[in-house]
Amino acid sequence: MRLNSPQINIITKACMKASRSLIRDFGEIENLQVSSKGPGDFVTSADKRTEKIIIDELLKAHPDYGIITEETGIINEKNVNNRWVVDPIDGTVNFLNGVPHFAISIGYEEKEELKCGVIFDPIKNELFSAEKGNGAYLNNSRIRVSNKKNIKDALLVTGGPKLSSKIKDEIFSDYIKVTKNIPNVRRYGSAALDMAYVACGRFDGYWQRELNYWDIAAGIIILKEAGGFINIFDPDNKVPLKRNILASNSNIHEELRDLILKKNIE
């Protein structure tokens, strides 16, 4: 990997250390202790263990830095100038069902601006990384978003609503609006990898509502540094860590944005 900042090195080290136990747990998926965190959303002992390893590594490097995590919450809450944003397993349902499509996602902020991030797929050994102003990489190779120009030929990816969602109709409406105009839409179950795949050109665009910030923080900086365009739309100020996101290459972005944000199905 050509990026070599202290923050990238810390994140990468944490990902690699946590991934070792994560891979072991994935190999013994039938023996995992599973507890329900809410309808449609589960947390495993592997999720908690992975997060603890990551937090320990980050705090060892910088004991005073803030950390936003999925399970633990916010650590060192007063420090908003330097903050890690951690999702220990993005794609938990895939993981629980033995589907090898999930990732560790860690972003780093300074004064609430994303500076770098890493998304690591331990099963495929694919490490996506980026640093502001220095580009985006998959392992040792520079990556860019696709250059597809015709939106009707685009391959898009999205995610569906959680069982507890109060805006299911709106989410399904988005899906109908898009699929009436664009035939090729996938749903893979990991927001972090969805964004990473747009960044390296495997997908041409991505949208999803009601995401947690830790799902996409690393993906935002990776996709931007890969030349992608991003909109955070319809923000809910009452839930600051929730995001609705639209991301794609520059050629189809405006058309995809207009399609999703239309109020009526045509």
Predicted confidence (pLDDT) at residue 96 exceeds the cutoff of 50: yes
Cα–Cα nearest to 176, from 39, 190, 168: 168
Most confident of 31-35, 68-72, 91-95, 225-229: 225-229
- The per-residue pLDDT for 68 is 95
Both tokens assigned to 146: 């696709």
pLDDT at 3 exceeding the cut of 90: no
What is the pLDDT at residue 166? Answer: 85
Residue 173 pLDDT > 70: yes
DSSP string, the chain: -----HHHHHHHHHHHHHHHHHHHHHHTGGG--EEEEETTEEEEHHHHHHHHHHHHHHHHH-TTSEEEESSS-EESTT--SEEEEEEEEE-HHHHHTT-S--EEEEEEEETTEEEEEEEEETTTTEEEEEETTTEEEETTEE--------GGG--EEE----TT-S-HHHHHHHHHHHHTT---EE--S-HHHHHHHHHTTSSSEEEEEEEEHHHHHHHHHHHHHTT-EEEE-S--TTSTTEEEEEEE-HHHHHHHHHHHH-SS--
- Whether the pLDDT of residue 98 is over 60: the answer is yes
Sorted by where each begins, the domain ranges of the chain are: 6-142, 151-261
pLDDT > 90: what percent of the chain? 70
What pLDDT was estimated at residue 15? 97
- Tell which wins on pLDDT, 84 or 170: 84
Quick check: 140 pLDDT over 60? yes
Count Cα neighbours of 218 within 13 Å in the Cβ-side half-sphere. 36
151-156 mean pLDDT: 95
pLDDT given at position 39:
32
| Model pLDDT, residue 247 | 96
Residue 160 has pLDDT above 50, yes or no: yes
Local confidence band at 237 (pLDDT 50, 70, 90 cut-offs): low
| pLDDT tens profile 32-75 | 555 554 433 445 688 889 999 999 999 999 999 999 998 888 99
Does the domain made of 151-261 have the CATH classification 3.90.180.10?
Answer: no
Res 30: pLDDT:
60
pLDDT at position 208: 94
6-142 CATH choice from 3.30.540.10, 1.10.3720.10, 3.40.190.10, 3.20.20.140:
3.30.540.10
Stretch 214-229: mean pLDDT, rounded? 97
